[in-house]
Structure 1
Amino acid sequence: MQRQYSSTPPARRRRLPLLAASTLAAWLAACGGGGGTAESAQDAGPGAPAEAQAQHAAVGPIQASHETPRETGGADMDDPAVWVHPDEDDAEDSLIVAAAKKGGLRVYDLKGRPVQTIAAQLDAEGEPLNRFNNVDVAYRFKLGGKHVDIAVASDRIQDKLRVWRIDEDYDLDDGEPPLVDATSATMPRLFPTRPAPDDREHGSVPNPNDGKHTAYGLALYRDKASGKVYAFVNQNNEAVIAQYELVDDGHKKISARLVREWRFPYTHRGQDLTQEDENDPARDFSPQFEGMVVDQQTGILYAAQEDVGIWRINVKTGVAEDRPFYETRAFDPNSRVARDVEGLTIYYAAGGKGYLLASSQGKAHGEPPTQATPGLDDTFVVFERQGQNRLLGSFRVEPQAGKGIDGVQESDGSDVSNVALPGFKHGLFIAQDGYDNDVFDGSETATNLKLVPWDTIATRFPGGPLTVDTGYNPRRP
């Protein structure tokens, strides 16, 4: 497997100070946080009176401060994950790990500069043998008697998990990259079967390893009580989510064992989710899940069924709710989420507060036929993390012409970190941009990641200021 490294490491500098919770209100006021309440923000949708929309207008555009290089051709940027360095004095060595599908895996610094490329393996004809779809990181996995941090990706072609150990003492000048392959030779196929077409609720049939019904979306969870790390993976073209425990294979490599799986309905409100119509997107459905995230404190798995909505599963009890807690516009005319609902991520705050963010990707771009849902496409929807995940509103990442950074459209994946990091002292939000060149007719393919300071979102959120709380430590959730 070919690896490429940047020639110089990021410049070292000391970690910036945390924002004290006691100073948050004064800081928000000084920044001119947007007016309005969370409750009234829900009423200021596309059909709201002009006065209501003006009342909740952001005080300034939400824009990215940095972006990663553009991916074109066979590489297609998809899902990012933030890794926070364990030493505060080395916080500038924190990383962004991202899946680029057939382009392999990318690793960036906090300015979006390439640090490491892990290319896909190639067959004899030069075709990729890997397609990394989603990626996540976990802290303090016990391997060979020591705790290590790991990055895990879902591989659609191999239908397996791919695992890397993250070396906190990486040294690019000495040819020591941060990610080191730790995948066991005993790593099993994730989905050797798929639901039987004539009995999807209970029946199963053998699943050819052809990339059509294989590993897709992924999220990691570390159980605080046991220290075990679990990977939740959904199955391409199916309404199936599987839970795997990551295990030490005894040879300083990591394998996995199946714990259980959940099967979800293939119909919703009378609509057959297997119905396909390539000429009419309003009649074209899929049971597919992709975006997922696990609340590391509560053990609630949020899973986005792209056409349907967002489901909740309690991974501690294994109980999944019998309906999504929030539906897409395809099923709820008042919804603020368009098909497809994609990347999910959680912003943690003290006392169980914080936010669940979802990408309302939509289908407004690309080759026709398309299906625009004005006001919903290309947005990120914000829910309360606590309680019943009350809707607070949504925002867009707009272009920043002065820096030549465009906005974000049809975002596949995102991640958010509340940790104070160099350049992002109030936290960091990362979103995949599906149209980095802003050519929307499908004639060009260009993707990358946009890096947005969390305080930019918090102070300019149309529904009123959001919380900034840098106290959560992902290593000790």
Structure 2
Amino acid sequence: MKDLTLALLPLLAAGCATTGADVPVVPTTPAASVQARGQTDAVGTANADAADDPAIWRNRADPAASLIVGTDKKAGLHIYDLTGKDRFFIDVGQVNNVDLKDMGPLGVIVAASDRNDRKNAKLALFRLDTAAAKLIPLGTIPVGPGEAYGLCLYRSGATLHAFNVIKDGTIRQVALDLSGATPSGTIVRTMKLATQSEGCVADDRTHRLYVGEENAGVWRFDARAGGAVEGKTIASVDGQKLVADVEGVTLAPEGEGNGGYLIVSSQGDHAYSVYRLSDDSYVGRFRIAAGSTYGATEETDGIDFAPGDFGPTYPDGLFVAQDGYNPPYAQNFKYAAWADIKAALGIE
């Protein structure tokens, strides 16, 4: 949730953030700078905090034909191509977070947290028609009381699970059944964080779930349906390495086992904090700074990363971040190359 006014953006862009008491602090932990290599068209809702969360589908056969699904949380879902062109929009109302998984014969399944009814959370499901770049609605699934906020998908074998993060910090794990004419879901487990939470990501390789508690930090849970419901804090909001609000979280998997990195949106100072998945250790921070072609990102909500070859502009992986301040246009999403981020952080 954005708790900073546009009037503060010039101050914050210089590296200053605010604590819960609105006392300005300047993080002493430096943030490296990278520049965006692309951006999307703006979302349709102008003059509002509207763009929120991206999800990347990589076309293995033709990387240039890869697609990005992005939410306009006031209106619906967009599909963008790698040039940033808005290829498709579907009006499904207030959907906040989005994720996708390639489920083989079932196709690429897209899920979004549906908060059209703020008192009763729902999960909206779609199939991504990758050839036509469009979304085919499959239906909605009720997932209990409260406001649907965060969402991420987790695949365990042939079973697809959705984690719905309710705004009050409740986390519900839903086992999805996509075999029928309309999808259904069963809540198999519930976890709870103390305060408002949103961003989440699940690692299919290690069966770990990471959830951002906005004013506290990042938690790690066992993602398996039979796992313990207690979580462990792996990164705390300290105003230095991680500045509230904690927003989007994503994985940059590398190698076998638990190799790679966790990337977290440190919204309060327009940066992204990076942690090593193998031992939760802090790696560094970076910002997407203004360049000659594309602007900086500020007040980022959702982020996503996908490894692999996306063509000559993004040869080693693609990072996508929501941009909360994109004048003179409405909010949009910026694209950055993983190769640039790794070089800026000095990691191999």
TM-score by length of 1: 0.63
C-alpha contact 2:191 2:230 (8 A) present in aligned 1: no
1:310 is paired with a residue of what secondary structure?
Answer: strand
The aligned runs of 1:128-147 (5 Å cut-off) are: 130-140=93-103, 146-147=105-106
2:284 is paired with a residue of what secondary structure?
Answer: strand
Residue 232 of structure 1 pairs with residue 163 of structure 2: yes
C-alpha contact 1:361 1:410 (8 A) present in aligned 2: yes
Alpha-carbon distance between aligned partners in 1 of 2:344 and 2:72, rounded to the nearest angstrom = 31
- CA root-mean-square deviation: 2.1
Task: Look up the match of 2:188.
Answer: 259
Residue 455 of structure 1 pairs with residue 339 of structure 2: yes
Residue 415 of structure 1 pairs with residue 323 of structure 2: no
Q: CA deviation at 1:315?
A: 1.6
Q: CA deviation at 1:431?
A: 0.4
Task: Look up the match of 1:163.
Answer: 125
- Structure 1 pair 383–320 and aligned structure 2 pair: CA distance change class (3 A): farther
Task: Look up the match of 1:76.
Answer: 50
Query: Which amino acid in the other structure matches residue 223 of structure 1?
Result: S
Q: CA deviation at 1:239?
A: 2.0
C-alpha contact 1:191 1:214 (8 A) present in aligned 2: no
Query: Which amino acid in the other structure matches residue 169 of structure 1?
Result: A
Among 211, 216, 222, the alignment partner of 2:149 is 216
C-alpha contact 1:311 1:321 (8 A) present in aligned 2: no
Q: CA deviation at 1:46?
A: 4.2
1:459 is paired with a residue of what secondary structure?
Answer: helix
Task: Look up the match of 1:312.
Answer: 220
Among 404, 414, 424, the alignment partner of 2:314 is 424
C-alpha contact 2:302 2:321 (8 A) present in aligned 1: yes
Task: Look up the match of 2:73.
Answer: 101
Cα deviation, 1:278-302, whole Å, max 9, x if unaligned, reads xxxxxxxxx1110000012001000
- Runs of 4+ off more than 6 Å: none
Task: Look up the match of 2:19.
Answer: none
Task: Look up the match of 1:435.
Answer: 325
1:154 is paired with a residue of what secondary structure?
Answer: strand
Alpha-carbon distance between aligned partners in 2 of 1:303 and 1:340, rounded to the nearest angstrom = 13
Matched pairs, number: 315
Which structure has more strand as a fraction of its residues? Answer: 2
Cα deviation, 1:198-226, whole Å, max 9, x if unaligned, reads xxxxxxxxxxxxxxx321100001113xx
1:107 is paired with a residue of what secondary structure?
Answer: strand
Cα deviation, 1:373-428, whole Å, max 9, x if unaligned, reads xxxx11100000112x100110110001x21x110111001001111012311111
The aligned runs of 1:460-475 (5 Å cut-off) are: 460-461=344-345, 465-467=346-348
C-alpha contact 1:150 1:166 (8 A) present in aligned 2: yes
Q: CA deviation at 1:102?
A: 1.5
Residue 243 of structure 1 pairs with residue 124 of structure 2: no
Among 130, 137, 144, the alignment partner of 1:191 is 144
The aligned runs of 1:38-437 (5 Å cut-off) are: 46-47=27-28, 61-71=33-43, 72-73=46-47, 76-86=50-60, 88=61, 90-120=62-92, 130-140=93-103, 146-158=105-117, 159-170=121-132, 177-183=133-139, 187-192=140-145, 213-224=146-157, 227-236=158-167, 238-248=168-178, 250-251=180-181, 253-264=182-193, 266=194, 287-316=195-224, 317-329=226-238, 335-351=240-256, 352-362=258-268, 377-387=269-279, 389-400=280-291, 402-403=292-293, 405-422=294-311, 423-437=313-327
Q: Calculate percent identity across the aligned residue pairs.
A: 33
Alpha-carbon distance between aligned partners in 1 of 2:302 and 2:130, rounded to the nearest angstrom = 25
C-alpha contact 2:141 2:183 (8 A) present in aligned 1: no
2:343 is paired with a residue of what secondary structure?
Answer: helix
Task: Look up the match of 1:374.
Answer: none
Which consecutive residues of structure 1, in runs of 5 or more, have no partner in the other structure?
1-44, 121-129, 171-176, 193-212, 267-286, 363-376, 439-444, 468-477
- Structure 1 pair 299–323 and aligned structure 2 pair: CA distance change class (3 A): closer
Q: CA deviation at 1:432?
A: 0.4
Q: CA deviation at 1:248?
A: 2.3
C-alpha contact 2:27 2:241 (8 A) present in aligned 1: no
Q: CA deviation at 1:75?
A: 7.2
Alpha-carbon distance between aligned partners in 2 of 1:298 and 1:219, rounded to the nearest angstrom = 15
1:420 is paired with a residue of what secondary structure?
Answer: coil
2:233 is paired with a residue of what secondary structure?
Answer: coil
Alpha-carbon distance between aligned partners in 2 of 1:47 and 1:243, rounded to the nearest angstrom = 38
TM-score by length of 2: 0.85
- For the pair shown, the structure with the greater C-alpha radius of gyration is 1
1:466 is paired with a residue of what secondary structure?
Answer: coil
